[in-house]
């Protein structure tokens, strides 16, 4: 077994998180709250483990599991019976929190259950709020279009609906920001993302929920996932234009709107766009390439945990 591999077991109780690491035998204890989970995450980030195993307790493991999974760490939540059977099979009959954590670490090392990303309650809540926001925006656009063609008999009613939709949109956006602030990890990522000129609350919340892979994949894979990676369109002797397609439409739309803002206020993206235009690239092609560049920058920032630094980007 490579010496660089490490396996973590976490025994979760109402108040504490008992942690054991194999094979070096390290043991930690943290409080089972936002502060304790944040401290645990910082420790695990120093030497990312090969696998983390917890028992499904119903609700007590929710905060730590969602935080670690969202951070991109490999987490497997197993049935408590699996842990008990493994402990009996290996002769571990005593039961304490620290011993339970060690058994879970040994289980991770020996069995290596497949880590599965979990759609925790916080993530699902943010996803649903983002979906509702998009629906309200779509209704607003439709009603505003109707207003331009409305007769005097219907104009007042349409305007009243627009006012109501704008009020609801503001309330939903407030809930989205509250949801992000309630998660220490999301709050940290939101600060990083919004340090970039042109990245506002809409793009930030869109990237946090529908694109949790941001910062965990290379630039090519994350671009393909969003749908801004150019693919060849060739067949036989025919050589077509490279195209972008597929991906996550809502993320791509939010990225597009942020890129339009970046063409005015982000010096790196603006210079990149103008350079492409000066070489004869069409506006649509240059905008798509700028979307790709902005996404690659955001992905690198999330990967490194570093805020916006235009001097560093220019030097590279």
| Predicted confidence pLDDT, tens digits, the chain (316 residues) | 345 889 999 999 889 999 999 998 899 999 999 899 999 999 998 889 999 999 877 567 878 887 888 788 899 888 787 888 888 887 765 555 556 889 999 999 998 887 865 555 677 788 889 989 999 999 999 999 999 999 988 999 999 999 999 999 999 999 999 989 888 778 888 999 999 999 999 999 989 877 877 888 888 888 888 888 654 443 344 343 444 444 678 889 999 999 999 999 999 999 999 999 999 999 999 999 999 999 999 999 988 888 898 775 654 4
Write down the pLDDT at residue 119.
56
In contact, 76 and 114? CB cutoff 8 Å = yes
Write down the pLDDT at residue 83.
82
**Integer CA distances (angstroms), 133 to 106, 249, 314, in order:** 45, 15, 35
Distance CA 179, CA 183 (A): 7
Residue 178, class by beta-carbon neighbours within 10 Å (0-12 exposed, 13-18 middle, 19+ buried)? exposed
Write down the pLDDT at residue 44.
92
Write down the pLDDT at residue 96.
56
DSSP of 202-270: HHHHHHHTT-TTTTTS-HHHHHHHHT-S-B--EETTEE---B---S-HHHHHHHHHHHHHHHHH-HHHH
Q: Which segments within the chain are labelled E, that is strand?
A: 7-12, 16-22, 27-31, 51-55, 75-78, 234-235, 238-239
CATH for 7-110, among 3.30.360.10, 3.40.50.180, 3.40.50.300, 3.30.420.40? 3.30.420.40
User: Domain limits of the chain?
Assistant: 7-110, 121-182, 197-315
Write down the pLDDT at residue 123.
75
Using only C-alpha atoms, the chain has a radius of gyration, in whole angstroms, of: 24
């Amino acid at each position: 077994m490579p010496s660089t591999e490490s396996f973590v077991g976490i025994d979760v109780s109402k108040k504490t998180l008992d942690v054991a690491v194999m094979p070096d035998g390290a043991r930690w204890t943290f409080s089972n709250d936002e502060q304790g989970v944040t401290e645990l995450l910082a420790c695990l980030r120093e030497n990312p483990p090969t696998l983390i195993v917890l028992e499904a307790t119903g609700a007590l493991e929710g905060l730590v599991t969602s935080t670690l999974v969202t951070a991109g760490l490999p987490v497997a939540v197993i049935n408590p019976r699996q842990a008990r059977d493994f402990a009996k099979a290996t002769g571990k009959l005593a039961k304490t929190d620290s011993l339970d954590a060690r058994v879970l670490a040994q289980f991770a090392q020996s069995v290596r259950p497949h880590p599965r990303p979990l759609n925790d309650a916080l993530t699902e809540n943010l996803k649903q709020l983002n979906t509702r926001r998009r629906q309200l925006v779509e209704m607003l656009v439709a009603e505003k279009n109707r207003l331009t063609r409305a007769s005097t008999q219907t104009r007042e009613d349409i305007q009243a609906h627009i006012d109501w939709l704008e009020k609801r949109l503001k309330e939903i956006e407030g809930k989205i920001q509250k949801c992000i602030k309630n998660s220490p990890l999301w709050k940290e990522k939101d600060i990083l993302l919004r340090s970039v000129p042109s990245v506002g609350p809409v793009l930030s919340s869109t990237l946090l929920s529908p694109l949790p892979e941001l910062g965990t994949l290379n630039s090519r894979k994350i671009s393909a996932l969003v749908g801004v990676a150019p693919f060849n369109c060739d067949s036989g002797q025919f050589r077509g234009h490279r195209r972008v397609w597929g991906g996550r439409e809502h993320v791509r739309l939010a990225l597009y709107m942020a890129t339009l803002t970046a063409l005015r206020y982000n010096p790196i993206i603006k210079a990149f766009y103008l350079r492409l235009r000066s070489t004869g690239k069409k506006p649509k092609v240059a905008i798509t390439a700028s979307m790709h560049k902005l996404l690659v920058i955001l992905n690198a920032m999330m990967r490194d945990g570093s805020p916006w630094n235009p001097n560093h980007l220019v030097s590279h």
